[in-house]
Amino acid sequence: MATSKTTNTYNRQNWEDADFPILCQTCLGDNPYIRMTKEKYGKECKICARPFTVFRWCPGARMRFKKTEVCQTCSKLKNVCQTCLLDLEYGLPIQVRDAALKLKDDLPKSDVNKEYYIQNMERELQRSDTGVLSNKLNEPNDLLMRLARTAPYYKRNRPHVCSFWVKGECRRGEECPYRHEKPTDPEDPLADQNIKDRYYGVNDPVADKLLKRAAAMPALPPPEDKTITTLYIGNLGTLTEQDIRDHFYQYGEIRSVSLVPKQQCAFVQYTTRAAAETAAEKTFNKLILGGRRLTIKWGRSQGRAGPAINPGLEAYEPVPGLPGALPELSNNFFNLEPGHIPLPNMPPPPSLIVPPMFGPPPMPPFFFNPPQLSAYVPTAASSSTVTSEATGGPSKSTVHYPSQDPARLGATQLHADRQE
């Protein structure tokens, strides 16, 4: 327990005497010229209860005066500001930072153990001249980077609400240094904050709000099919295949990179599922290449959809009123491959039926892929064939296309000679 500065005790040598405080940019304010008052051993630290040098200043116009609340030793142990107790690197509460970095608070809570622990840590800080969390904070963390403030939040330095104005008794008017605004809801969790809870990282309402916001952020869960190792990369713009390969090879061995310039997308397939999951986790909603934020999604299963298909394309309803599917291919006279337009199964018109007395006409040399025609059948056989057709027996249907008419295949002169 700390004692008076006039007494000569063993704890006197551990009192703090500093020349400048450890503050964040928000607490310093937007004014580059600051006048501070320094009071040596002015108050005791609200964490370790040791006397320390107190600094007091005004961060800007129409702002309230601020002062340091904890000593520099406690500030270095947690890498926080001496006034707001927020992390100096990200501007976040200690509870959020420790949860993201998976740190465990080992600072004792009892007075004797806490004093002994802080004295030992102070000696280590003097030897190394660096913070305890320096190694951990240098490691990049996606959650902290998404929640961190990119600019100072000077709104936190505003004056408190005028209690006389709330009661309708403030007579200062515009000269009142306090805010004439409606106070916040007392049931709001943010209205009840404790400096010790913030330092130890427990029961911090601001941290709870930020953690809930982080939980509500969109995520990219990996698919259940373990055979999927392909990632869809959208919004490429003018990026080339080499640009994509140069960035994504750092997460694992790449099997193939397929670029689709028309749709401005690409598909990156890894050799292992672990490499694909690492790439999806490191790049989802935070990858910027060539000044464009890329869209990262998982590809589809090879067994169900064949090659990876763009999962960003939506499935639209078919247009109403269109005809149904065409009939199956029955008369393949031209030896067409499957997938072509199927031919309707309908009998030929009577005008195109070749008389059975004539043989098959000669085929021109330029005819491509001629159909397989049967040999010439005598008249008796032909008449029996016609008879079987009339009786309803099974028979092969004749050609009914106009292009198969012998009169249009160079046989006109031969037919005329026979008639003469």
Give yes or no: residues 160 and 247 share one domain: no
Give yes or no: residues 201 and 92 share one domain: yes
Give yes or no: residues 195 and 234 share one domain: no
231 forms beta bridges with 268, 298
Whether 319 maps to a domain, the answer reads: no
CATH of the domain at 254: 3.30.70.330
Domain final residue pick, 177, 192, 217: 217
What pLDDT, in 10s, does the model give residues 64-86?
999 999 999 999 988 999 999 99
Whether 54 maps to a domain, the answer reads: yes
Whether 140 maps to a domain, the answer reads: yes
Domain final residue pick, 279, 305, 331: 305
Give yes or no: residues 118 and 255 share one domain: no
Whether 411 maps to a domain, the answer reads: no
Whether 336 maps to a domain, the answer reads: no
What pLDDT, in 10s, does the model give residues 231-246?
999 988 888 999 999 9
What pLDDT, in 10s, does the model give residues 179-211?
999 988 878 888 888 899 999 988 899 999 998
Whether 352 maps to a domain, the answer reads: no
Q: Which domain holds residue 247?
A: 230-305
Categorize the per-residue pLDDT at 53 as very low, low, confident or very high, splitting at 50, 70 and 90.
very high
Give yes or no: residues 3 and 91 share one domain: yes
What order do you get walking across the sheet with 66-67 strand by strand?
A: 36-44, 51-57, 66-67
Categorize the per-residue pLDDT at 1 as very low, low, confident or very high, splitting at 50, 70 and 90.
very low
Greatest mean pLDDT among 116-125, 269-278, 355-364 lies in: 269-278
| Residue of 117, 122, 97, 98 whose CA lies nearest to 107 | 117
Please give the Cα distance from 232 to 374 (Å, whole number). Answer: 55
Whether 397 maps to a domain, the answer reads: no
Burial 400-417 (b: 16+ CB within 10 A, else e): beeebbbeeeebeeeeee
Whether 266 maps to a domain, the answer reads: yes
Please give the Cα distance from 228 to 30 (Å, whole number). Answer: 51
pLDDT of residue 336: 62
pLDDT of residue 198: 92
Among 88-92, 123-127, 157-161, 168-172, the least confident range? 123-127
Categorize the per-residue pLDDT at 292 as very low, low, confident or very high, splitting at 50, 70 and 90.
confident
What pLDDT, in 10s, does the model give residues 303-360?
554 444 455 555 566 666 666 666 665 666 666 665 555 555 556 666 656 565 555 6
What pLDDT, in 10s, does the model give residues 2-17?
555 555 455 566 788 8
Give yes or no: residues 196 and 277 share one domain: no
pLDDT of residue 418: 54
Give yes or no: residues 181 and 282 share one domain: no
Give yes or no: residues 19 and 161 share one domain: yes
Give yes or no: residues 27 and 56 share one domain: yes
pLDDT of residue 382: 44
pLDDT of residue 28: 93
Please give the Cα distance from 412 to 343 (Å, whole number). Answer: 28
Among 125-139, 156-170, 262-276, 292-306, the least confident range? 125-139
Give yes or no: residues 134 and 43 share one domain: yes
Domain final residue pick, 183, 217, 251: 217
Q: Which residues contact 297 (CB under 8 A, 6 or more apart)?
A: 220, 231, 232, 234, 311, 312
Give yes or no: residues 168 and 201 share one domain: yes
Please give the Cα distance from 127 to 105 (Å, whole number). Answer: 22
pLDDT of residue 365: 56
In the chain, the number of structural domains is: 2
Give yes or no: residues 95 and 213 share one domain: yes
